[in-house]
Amino acid sequence: MPRIQLLSDHLVNQIAAGEVVERPASALKELLENSLDAGSQNLQIELQAGGTKLLKVIDDGCGIAKEDLALALHRHATSKIASMEDLARVATLGFRGEGLASVASVSRLSLTSRFTDRDNGGQMSAHAWRVEADHGRMLDPEPAALAIGTTIEVHDLYHQVPARKKFLKSDATEYAHCAAMIERLALANPNVQFTVMHNGRAQHRWMAGDLAKRAAAIIGDEFVKTGIPVDEGFGNLRLHGIAGSPTLGKSSRDAQFFFVNGRFVRDKVVQHALREAYRDVLHHNMHAAFCLFLEMDPEGVDVNVHPTKIEVRFRESQAIYRFLITSLSKALAKTTAGAATQDTP
Ligand code: ADP
Ligand code: MG
pLDDT tens-digit profile of 138-154?
898 999 999 999 999 99
User: Domain 9-206 classified CATH 3.50.50.60?
Assistant: no
- Taking only the tens place, the pLDDT of each residue in 268-315 is 999 999 999 999 888 888 999 999 999 999 889 987 776 666 788 999
Report the atom number in ligand 1 closest to the C-alpha of 96: 3
Whose atoms come closest to the Cα of 61: which ligand? Answer: 1
- Taking only the tens place, the pLDDT of each residue in 220-247 is 999 999 999 999 999 999 999 999 999 8
Whose atoms come closest to the Cα of 33: which ligand? Answer: 2
**CA dihedral over 218, 220, 225, 230, signed as positive or negative:** negative
| CB half-sphere exposure, 155, CA atoms < 13 A | 8
Pairing state between β 42-48 and 228-234: unpaired
The shares of helix, strand and coil residues in the chain, as percent rounded to the nearest 5, are 35, 25, 40
**ipTM score over 0.95, yes or no:** yes
- Domain spanning 220-341 has what CATH number? 3.30.230.10
To test the pocket of ligand 1, the residue of 30, 78, 138 to mutate (highest count of ligand atoms within 8 Å of its CB) is: 78
Report the atom number in ligand 1 closest to the C-alpha of 35: 23
Ligand 1 atom 1 nearest Cα:
97
Q: Environment class of residue 123 by beta-carbon count within 10 Å: exposed (0-12), middle (13-18) or buried (19+)?
A: exposed
**110, 152 contact by CB (below 8 A):** yes
Distance CA 247, CA 266 (A): 24
Q: Where in the chain are the domains?
A: 9-206, 220-341
